[in-house]
Structure 1
Amino acid sequence: MACWFSATAIIPELTRDWDLTQSQASWLTNAVQLGFVLGALASSLVNLPDLMPLPRLITVSACGAALANAVLLIEPGWTAALIARFVTGMALAGIYPPAMKLMATWFSRGRGLAMGVLIGALTLGSSMPHLFRAASEGLDWRMVVILSSLGAALSAAIFGFLVREGPHAFGRAVFDPRRALVIFRNRGVLLANLGYFGHMWELYAMWAWFLAFATAAERGGVGPFGSPSLFAFLVVASGAVGCVLGGLLSDRIGRCLTTAGMMAVSGACALLIGFAFDGPAWLLAFVAVIWGISIVGDSAQFSAAVTELADPRFVGTALTLQVSIGFALTVLTIWIMPHIAAALGGWRWAFLVLLPGPVVGAWAMLRLRGLPEARKLAGGKG
């Protein structure tokens, strides 16, 4: 997953070396989102995660992500780089949703924690380019791209040689594009998806633009952890702790309360972080890290809920459709954030535009908790 933000982490260098405008720079991130959406939609329409052996699908996709990401090394120019980032996103669509289904085949109990650990790994992987950049400060930006591609290649080897489906495998599907639409007639799945969409409205825009926010804060004299890149890494990476915590809570008190609670905390942080922008540094760091923990701590639980609510024959399709629509929303929020910042005269209050997401998402999950379908979640805990 390090390939996801490999270009985002080096935007300052690419902007300088390739003479990019702010709009061109932001599209290097958004192209990945669009590629992911198209890849996930195409995959769900043909029920690919329910037809193809999951380790094989993930292995091929990881190889594709590594190669597409490495195209940046030859400095192909903005248009070709945009296409390469788009292909990277398409390849990642063959990794993230299938990996969730693969994890679910190993657990009938404790699935929330298992999925939390998986999304924690995704979160940690997504944050790695910021660490690569912080650790290689003063070196060529290509080092970030090289390490990200090597990570994807290593994961392909792991899935290709060491991973298999678990004992609780879901039944194989037949090709039926209509199933992608039938999924949304399930009231429980619909509300779980609405919760996920609210969550996604907030998540990737924060991940994509926190480095810009941290850089602006440092220019104002508030710079926790020494550098904006290290600050961004720690904030995003802290989400791995939140994912494990969310998994533990979800299996104990239920999916609905856990997700609603996480979104309440993350929404509060989106509101408060502007007040901490001027420091002190410890306060900005505290709010940011709590936000990093809570903003993704519920992510896996929406997916766990879908595996429990959807038709078992089409769990892969349901998961892929869920994330494809969720990531389509991220295209809008990632695009709009720098425009909001420009309109407000800086990044301090820009994250307020993300607040409606967790508000709507928390409402949807609390609504789901009051329905009979909630008895299917977390062994009856809701």
Structure 2
Amino acid sequence: MLPHVVVPSILAQFLIPEWRLTGANAGSLAGSYAAGYMLAVPFLATLTDRIDARIVLIAGSALSALATLMFGLFAEGLWSGAALWALAGIGFAGAYMPGLKALTDRLDPGDSSRAVTFYTSSFSLGVGLSFLVSQLVAESFGWRAAFYVTAAGPLAMMFVCLLLKPMTPTPSKGRLLNFGPVFQNRSAMGFILGYGAHCFELYGIRTWLVAFWTFVAAKGGGGTLLTPIAISFAFSILAMPSSVLGNEVALRVGRRRALTTIMFASAAVALLIGICADGSPWLLLPLILLYAITVPADSGALTAGMAMSANPENRGATMAVHSTVGFGFSALGAWAVGAALDAAGGPHVASAWLPAFGVLAAGILLGPVALAWSRTASANHQAIQK
């Protein structure tokens, strides 16, 4: 995870002024990682139904390290940067869902819900470290050095893979890229589409959080404890316990009910931040920290719901669709927030942040719609069968 948000971390301070990027350009550059991931994950995640996911994980980690290093060495503008960052996203496509498959293949069925939630929550810890390391290195040694240093992270993952016990998955029937059974699984598709709404909001705020707090700090003089580095790191670290607790609540009160409540709460907090964007950093700080809790609180419950709803013989294909939808919406979220900022005057204008956060709120509100559709469709299907 160490290279994961290097580009969003250095956008505001380094890449936007040096490469003269608009908001939409910057969002597209950051989103190219998710776009590369989206294009590759259907094949790579589904492949884990045929071969040991550990093998895919090793190859993906190697590509992630190489592409991150190449960005630091060769990226010179929007197009070269987007191409190399998309390549890094392809590498991550061979790491994240194949890593989850490697985990679930080695678990008893009863262990899956909490184990999947801890796995997805560790994603947030990795993002926090990525924000922290990349910004500290970039400020001390230049932005290219941030890519050299973070490229070491996937190399460590390769070493861990070598320690995993080899395992051959149960042979899967049918074509490799056979997603028909996944689309017919209404319960799983509800969680998958909800995950897409979650990713739209999550990647949108991750891409623009440093830029937003740079604006807040410059306007309000928030002091050393309110630097973009501190805020982005805290935002990511809070996501880990939030995701775990969100899943625990879902286990107790019902998954769809908990997810719907969380998503509505997150949309409300996003709108409140946009309304107060011109306020004091001390007013915005608790709102941002609250948003850091609401944004990821649905992540573990959505992914666990998908994994538990998937048919065992095509779990890899279900994970592939889950990731494809999620990271497709991630790329869209990063671009949409940047486009909203451009249309409203740019990230240095306080009034532009209301439509930006409004876009995030609108994105996450698609989640309850997807969950309601899934529940209604599943109920109708069961009634027809009876």
Q: TM-score, normalised by structure 2?
A: 0.86
Partner of residue 290, structure 2:
290
Contact 2:195 2:367 in 1 (8 A): yes
Alpha-carbon distance in structure 1 between the residues aligned to 2:22 and 2:372? 43
For residues 216-275 of structure 1, the C-alpha deviation after alignment (integer angstroms, 9 at most, x for no partner) is 112221647331232122112321121121232233333223322321221121111123
Partner of residue 37, structure 1:
38
Alpha-carbon distance in structure 2 between the residues aligned to 1:112 and 1:220? 44
Task: Give, in angstroms, the shift of residue 303 of structure 1.
Answer: 2.0
Q: Which runs of 5 or more structure 1 residues have no equivalent in the other structure?
A: 374-382
Partner of residue 115, structure 2:
114
Partner of residue 102, structure 2:
102
Alpha-carbon distance in structure 2 between the residues aligned to 1:184 and 1:222? 51
Alpha-carbon distance in structure 2 between the residues aligned to 1:141 and 1:286? 30
Q: Closer, same or farther in 2 for the Cα pair 1:316/1:355, shift >3 Å?
A: same
| Percent of aligned pairs sharing the same letter | 24
Name the SS for the 1:306 alignment partner.
helix
The count of residues paired between Structure 1 and Structure 2 equals: 368
Q: Which runs of 5 or more structure 2 residues have no equivalent in the other structure?
A: 380-386
Alpha-carbon distance in structure 1 between the residues aligned to 2:29 and 2:226? 26
Q: Which amino acid aligns with 2:361?
A: L
Contact 1:69 1:85 in 2 (8 A): yes
Task: Give, in angstroms, the shift of residue 25 of structure 1.
Answer: 3.5
Contact 2:58 2:161 in 1 (8 A): yes
Task: Give, in angstroms, the shift of residue 16 of structure 1.
Answer: 4.2
Partner of residue 300, structure 2:
300
Task: Give, in angstroms, the shift of residue 17 of structure 1.
Answer: 4.3
Alpha-carbon distance in structure 2 between the residues aligned to 1:335 and 1:372? 33
Name the SS for the 1:172 alignment partner.
coil
Q: TM-score, normalised by structure 1?
A: 0.87
Alpha-carbon distance in structure 1 between the residues aligned to 2:33 and 2:289? 25
Task: Give, in angstroms, the shift of residue 367 of structure 1.
Answer: 5.4
Alpha-carbon distance in structure 1 between the residues aligned to 2:83 and 2:165? 31
Alpha-carbon distance in structure 2 between the residues aligned to 1:203 and 1:144? 23
Partner of residue 232, structure 1:
232
Partner of residue 159, structure 1:
161
Q: Answer with 247-256 or 197-206: which moved more.
A: 247-256
Q: Which amino acid aligns with 2:147?
A: V
For residues 177-196 of structure 1, the C-alpha deviation after alignment (integer angstroms, 9 at most, x for no partner) is 46312311122122222222
Contact 1:100 1:303 in 2 (8 A): no
Following superposition of structure 1 onto structure 2, how do residues 38-187 of structure 1 map, counting pairs within 5 Å? 38-43=39-44, 47-78=46-77, 79-105=79-105, 106-136=107-137, 137-162=139-164, 171-174=170-173, 176-177=175-176, 179-187=178-186
Out of 347, 353, 360, the residue aligned to residue 359 of structure 2 is 353
Q: Closer, same or farther in 2 for the Cα pair 1:201/1:80, shift >3 Å?
A: closer
Q: Closer, same or farther in 2 for the Cα pair 1:170/1:268, shift >3 Å?
A: farther
Q: Which amino acid aligns with 1:208?
A: T
Alpha-carbon distance in structure 2 between the residues aligned to 1:30 and 1:368? 28
Contact 1:123 1:236 in 2 (8 A): yes
User: Whose helix proportion is higher, 1 or 2?
Assistant: 2
Q: Answer with 252-261 or 298-307: which moved more.
A: 252-261
Alpha-carbon distance in structure 2 between the residues aligned to 1:117 and 1:154? 20
Partner of residue 336, structure 2:
336
